[in-house]
Amino acid sequence: MPQTLIVVEHPVLADRLTVLRNRDTPHGDFRQALYEAAAIMAVEVARDLPVKEVEIETPLEPTKGLRLRDEVAVVPVLRAGLGMVEGFLRLLPDARVGHVGIYRDEEDHVPVDYYERLPRGIANARVYLLDPMLATGGSAVAALDKLKGAGAKRLELVCLVAAPQGIEAVKDGHPKVRIWTAAVDRELDENAYIRPGLGDAGDRVFGTA
Ligand code: PRP
Ligand code: URA
């Protein structure tokens, strides 16, 4: 069984994550740090993308090279996942972008699904589901259900801060989906916020707090 939880260790990622966690970080700096953290995650998660050999000509002679073999799709969970898209597209400019809209009900924290627009060809693509926060895991499990329902088979979940409960929920619901994160935090509080966490990611990235 492949490793399902990968905690990415990188000094620049750790630095960016601390900026994200800091309550004094204004939304513009938060957005920038989220972009940079996502770009580092993109490099890590893309390491095992399959390549194909191609023949090309340099200005001097024919040679062989490697190109990415498959389509890649990135799918942010609205809203906070949107803040990770640009970092992924810097590395993977040809990726298609799907969107899923899911928010947690404030009272019972159950995910509410409100939007879906996915690229064609998702069944054959490597699909990266993007959401910085994995708390109860309800939103991620619901988003993965939708993607599988649309035919996606090669799915990876990329977050930045994960709670143990969310990791367990994804492992239970989608045992073959790898979870990439920058940190595993201590716990969820009584409002299902991650502690120490970084607060409400969607509000912080869009300045709506
Ligand atoms: C946040 C976050 C995740 C979800 C995680 O979104 O971006 O999607 O909560 O929580 P869970 O693991 O318990 O489901 P939120 O519901 O705040 O939506 P918003 O960004 O649109 O406000
Ligand atoms: N969603 C967030 O944005 N933050 C949390 O801590 C939990 C869920």
pLDDT, mean of each 10-residue run, the chain (209 residues): 85 98 98 98 98 98 98 98 98 98 94 96 96 98 98 98 98 97 98 98 96
- The amino acid present at 8, given as its one-letter code, is V
pLDDT of residue 2: 59
| pLDDT for the residue numbered 157 | 98
| Reported pTM | 0.97
| Side-chain half-sphere CA neighbours of 131 within 13 A | 28
The predicted structure's pLDDT at residue 140: 98
Confidence (pLDDT) at 3: 62
Report CA(180)–ligand 2 centroid distance (Å).
Answer: 17
The atom number, within ligand 1, closest to the CA of 202 reads 20
Protein residue closest via CA to atom 15 of ligand 1: 103
Distance 100 CA to ligand 2 centre (A): 17
Atom 10, ligand 1: residue with shortest CA distance: 135
d(Cα 52, Cα 13) in Å, to the nearest integer? Answer: 30
Q: Which helix (H) or strand (E) covers residue 187, if one does?
A: strand 187-188
